[in-house]
Every structure is written in structure tokens, then in C-alpha cells.
Amino acid sequence: MRKLLLALTVLSASLSTAAFAQQQRSGTPEEQKACTRDVQKFCRPVIDQGDFTILACLKENRSKISPACDQVLKTHNQ
């Protein structure tokens, strides 16, 4: 359950428009799966600091995150 919450948090923060966010707030299961491990590995210390902090953490660690998670960020203009 916590893994799903983490993925949802990251993806909801990365959506570029409010309308799109309402339609795709949780992201696809594939997008969630793509970033869950990266969030746990690189951003665990900031998980409780909010969506934008997690997104910033993923961006800061962009050279280390998986290609799949990187593509999710790119897909959402991040």
C-alpha cells in the first residue's frame, strides 16, 4: 500500500495541468511501477515532505533513476 501511495504522490505532482491531473491523478499502473523503486531508493528521506519535494528529488537524481521512471517524468513535462 505504501508503494502505491508513493507512486501516486510522485505522479500527481508531475502532472502539468489541473484538467489532466483530474483525469489521470494516479497515473497508469505502468507509470506507478516505473517510479516506485526510484522513489524508495533515492527519495526515502523526503517522502513525508510532500509531492513537490519528491518530484524535485527525482529530478535531482535524474542521472541515477531508471530509464522507465525518467520517461514517465518526460511524458509529464518534468
The total number of residues written for the chain in this structure:
78
Give me 2's grid cell: 505504501
Q: What is the distance between the alpha carbons of residues 35 and 30, in angstroms, rounded to a whole number?
A: 9
Show the domain range for 14. 2-75
pLDDT at site 28: 84
Tell me which DSSP letter residue 46 carries: G
The pLDDT value given to residue 65: 97
Query: Structurally, how many domains does the chain consist of?
Result: 1
Q: Which tens digits make up the pLDDT trace of 37-78?
A: 999 999 999 989 987 898 899 999 999 999 999 999 999 999
Q: Give the number of other CB atoms < 10 A from CB of residue 12.
A: 17
For 17: left if phi > 0, alpha if psi spans -120 to 50, otherwise beta; the answer is: beta
